[in-house]
C-alpha cells in the first residue's frame, strides 16, 4: 500500500514538474487535470499525447516564460496591497500552516494552507480578485502558479508577504 502511494506521489510530482517546465497552458494537447488523481490508478495511467513534431525543450521553456505577464501576477508593495484591499470583493488568503496563521496574520485574511489548496478550491472564487501571501513569498508563488495552471486568472501573490507587512508596521490580527 505504501509503495502504491509512493509511485502515485512520484508520478504526480513528475507530471507537475513537466507541466511547469513546458508551460501547460500553452498546449491543450498535453494539458491534464492534476487534481484528478483517480486517473493515475493501477488500472490505467493517463499519459498525455505529445505533438508529432519533436519536442524542443528550449522553445517550450521560452514559450512558457514569455507568457508570464509583466509583474508576474504580483502585488509588489504593502501600499499596493492596502489599495487593493479597499475593494470589499478582494479575498486575501494566507497559505501558511494554521499554527503560523493563528500566531499572527494580515487582518481579514482567511487561512488555506498551500498543501490543502486543491481540496479547498470551492473557497477560492474565480470571478473576483484573490491575493495569496505566506511568510516570505515562496509558498504564495507556488499557490499562484498552481491556480493559474488550473485555469484561475484572478490570482495574484503578495511577495513582501507577512514579513513585509509586519516590517511596515501594519496591523496584525491573531486567532
pLDDT tens digit string along 87-135? 999 999 999 999 999 999 999 999 999 999 999 999 999 999 999 999 9
Query: Confidence class of residue 17 from pLDDT cuts 50, 70 and 90?
Result: low
Do 105 and 140 form a contact (C-beta atoms < 8 A)?
no
Write phi, then psi, for 69 (nearest 5 degrees): -70, 160
- Centre a 10 Å sphere on the Cβ of residue 132 and count the other Cβ atoms it contains: 31
Separation of alpha carbons 174 and 102, rounded Å: 6
Q: Kindly list the domain boundaries of the chain, sorted by start residue.
A: 2-67, 78-167
Is 104 in contact with 112 (CB distance < 8 Å)? Answer: no
Q: What does the alpha-carbon distance between residue 21 and residue 117 come to, in Å, rounded to a whole number?
A: 21
pLDDT digits (tens, 9 = 90+) for 41-63: 444 545 555 555 556 778 776 77
Q: What is the pLDDT averaged over residues 155-166?
A: 94
**Per-residue cell: 162:** 507577512
> What is the CATH superfamily name and number for domain 78-167?
Rhodanese-like domain (3.40.250.10)
What's the chain's average pLDDT? 78
Amino acid at each position: 500500500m505504501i509503495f502504491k502511494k509512493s509511485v502515485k506521489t512520484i508520478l504526480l510530482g513528475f507530471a507537475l514538474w513537466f507541466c511547469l517546465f513546458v508551460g501547460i497552458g500553452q498546449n491543450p494537447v498535453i494539458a491534464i487535470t492534476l487534481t484528478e488523481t483517480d486517473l493515475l490508478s493501477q488500472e490505467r495511467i493517463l499519459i498525455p499525447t505529445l505533438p508529432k513534431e519533436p519536442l524542443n525543450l528550449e522553445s517550450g521553456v521560452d514559450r512558457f516564460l514569455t507568457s508570464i505577464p509583466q509583474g508576474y501576477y504580483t502585488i509588489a508593495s504593502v501600499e499596493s496591497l492596502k489599495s487593493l484591499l479597499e475593494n470589499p470583493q478582494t479575498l486575501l488568503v494566507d497559505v501558511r500552516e494554521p499554527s503560523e496563521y493563528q500566531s499572527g496574520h494580515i487582518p481579514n485574511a482567511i487561512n488555506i494552507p498551500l498543501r490543502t489548496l486543491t481540496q479547498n478550491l470551492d473557497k477560492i472564487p474565480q470571478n473576483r480578485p484573490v491575493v495569496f501571501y505566506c511568510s516570505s513569498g515562496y509558498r504564495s508563488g507556488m499557490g499562484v502558479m498552481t491556480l493559474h495552471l488550473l485555469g484561475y486568472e484572478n490570482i495574484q501573490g503578495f511577495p513582501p508577504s507577512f514579513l513585509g507587512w509586519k516590517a511596515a508596521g501594519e496591523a496584525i490580527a491573531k486567532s
